[in-house]
Chain A
Amino acid sequence: MDKLVFLGRRLLQLVPVAFGVTVVVFLMLRLIPGDPVRIMLGSRATPESIASLERNLGLDKPLWEQYLVFLGNLTRGDLGTSLLYRQPVRELVLERLPATLSLVAYSALLAVAITLPLAILAARRQDRPADQAVRVGTLLSLAMPSFWVGIIFMMFFSLRLDLFPVSGLGEGLSGRIYHLFLPSLTVALSLAAILIRSLRASLLAVARADFVDTARAKGVTERRIMVHHVLRNALISTVTILGVNIGWLIGGTVVIENLFAIPGLGALMLASISGRDYPMVQGITLVFAVLVVTVNIATDLTYAIIDPRVSL
């Protein structure tokens, strides 16, 4: 019951956020210097096409009315029409969404798989060479631009060792796992660096707690203390950090999709930008925001479920 109240309150907090997000996305078109219609149409501009696009986008109406129309369309799931593909933005977005979601999920998994052993190693060997090495590793990983890391990976693993493909999605599940490995690893590395730092710190903090001394006094083995007492408690803060950073993870996929030619949302967004397909850019930005908000709520819920003390 408490959890339901929590969920309800959390969803209620979303209303102003959702409102604000739509305003930002709506106003984005106003940032275009000059006449957006002329810019969008470019060399295709004729007096007729300008007038018809203005009518289509509702630009002949006052601003607040335009916003209401925009909002009304959104509630019907209408994200507008792509100028470039002459198709509903929603269809194009839904087509590209699975590739981006696989990349995000795969990266998150890899990041956790890298984080757990390294953070535990660093915490158990605090201030010793292994810990120092992990710390230098995270420092470097956070200093490296992901698009550059991706290129280095391509040059080494794909071109030199011929282990992985340089681009694309692959066929079937195994093909996807194989094709998306390098791009996901690239995205995962910077996230892992953040997670390792936080998990290492909370492992060290939890290890000083009284209940750990109690467990040790009862004769529980060090291994069991680590897994059942320390790690379990330290993971809670790490889940939060993962949730907070999912926005980064999602943002990071845009560059990586471009680099590895993965037909996802980010790649579509960049193509739309070079094609001056602004309704598409708007629609994709909105979908990205929806993704982040959804993940954040999911994180809060996970948090409430794994930690019984939480009732925010």
Chain B
Amino acid sequence: MATTSTHAAPTARPRAAWPAVPGLRLPPTLLVGGVLLAVVVALAVMAPLLTPYGPLDQDLLNAKKPPSWGHPFGTDNFGRDVLTRVLFGARVDLLIGLVPTAITFVVGVSLGAVAGYFGGRVDAVLMRLVDIAVAFPFFVLLIALVAMLGPGLRNMIVAISLVGWISYARIVRGEVLVARQAEYVLAARTLGFGDARIIAGHLLPNVITAAIVFSMADIVLNILLGTALSFLGLGPQAPTAEWGRMIQEGRQFIASGEWWMTTFPGLAIVVVAVAFSLIGDGLADLLRVEDRV
């Protein structure tokens, strides 16, 4: 990796300077992704103010109506406004993306750091767990876990958390293995600092960037996994407004040409996933640039 970056450095084109903060140049992907995400969050928070309908309000006389001025995304088979449900669904789906990622980040980073730092038996146990976890197709394991725990939003988050920490543990362990040989760790040890202080105060700040960059991709992954589970009926139950569930419910009407019930919730997933991916790419860019300086 080091060789590629030294090769790339001289040929890298100068970036457009973003003058908002002097001295800090934000990659455009980070900005675009950040703005996109901010818009989605704002829409989710202000959902009740933006639409005259409730996410569960049925209007059977106006069921399965195509997009119109009154219902820009059309209505579903119960006459519920699809736009309203997409807006309220953002609350659930952002939760599905963020909560498991936060849990697995904390658990995985801590375990990975401890295993990498102490090595030995702790490390061996962790690595065997990793080997076992990657022997399963991730999604199949999730489906099986949710099937056993019982469907629902909470169990879905529990299942993703049970398996998801592995990636973080792997990443951080690898970084710590290298970093613990560094001089600053030696210096800290010479000064008589305790292990906990060295890990938390010295090692983690130096190795955490990789985990942070990965966490953005992980949010995307968790949203895709969560909506897929929910599409299979294993997530939040009806009548919750959630995108995967909405696509599942609208699916039976595609043959009769009612495309809007499935298309719009799907587009919402794509927008949120693109936003987090762009932020991830931008962060990777930004942190790598800082590394070089």
Contacts and interface: CB of A to CB of B under 8 A. Distances in A.
B195 interface: no
A117 interface: no
Nearest to B259: A155
A31 B278 CA distance: 37
A252 interface: yes
Contacts of B227: 145
Nearest to B256: A159
B135 A21 contact: yes
B94 to A, nearest CB: 15
Interface in A266-302: 266, 269-270, 273-274, 278, 281-282, 284-285, 288-289, 291-293, 296
Nearest to B138: A251
Given A145-B224, A146-B228, A270-B232, A17 B135 contact: yes
Contact of A281 (B139, B147, B259): B147
B270 A28 contact: no
Contacts of A282: 144
A148 B7 contact: no
Contacts of A140: 270, 274
A145 B227 CA distance: 8
Contact of A28 (B144, B150, B220): B144
Interface in A121-157: 139-140, 142-148, 151-152, 154-155
Contacts of A284: 140
Nearest to A30: B148
B277 A151 contact: no
B136 A31 contact: no
Interface stretch (B38-46, B181-189, B261-269): B261-269
Contacts of A289: 135-137, 140
B144 A281 contact: yes
A-B pairs, top 7 by smallest CB distance, nearest first, are A251-B139, A143-B273, A20-B132, A148-B266, A251-B137, A31-B148, A273-B147
A59 interface: no
B277 A143 contact: yes
B168 interface: no
Contacts of A205: 4
A152 B138 CA distance: 25
B128 A252 contact: no
Nearest to B269: A145
A255 B231 contact: yes
A166 B254 CA distance: 11
13 contacts: A16-B131, A29-B148, A31-B145, A31-B149, A152-B266, A155-B254, A247-B137, A248-B137, A251-B139, A270-B232, A278-B147, A278-B148, A285-B136
A151 B273 contact: no
A151 B254 contact: yes
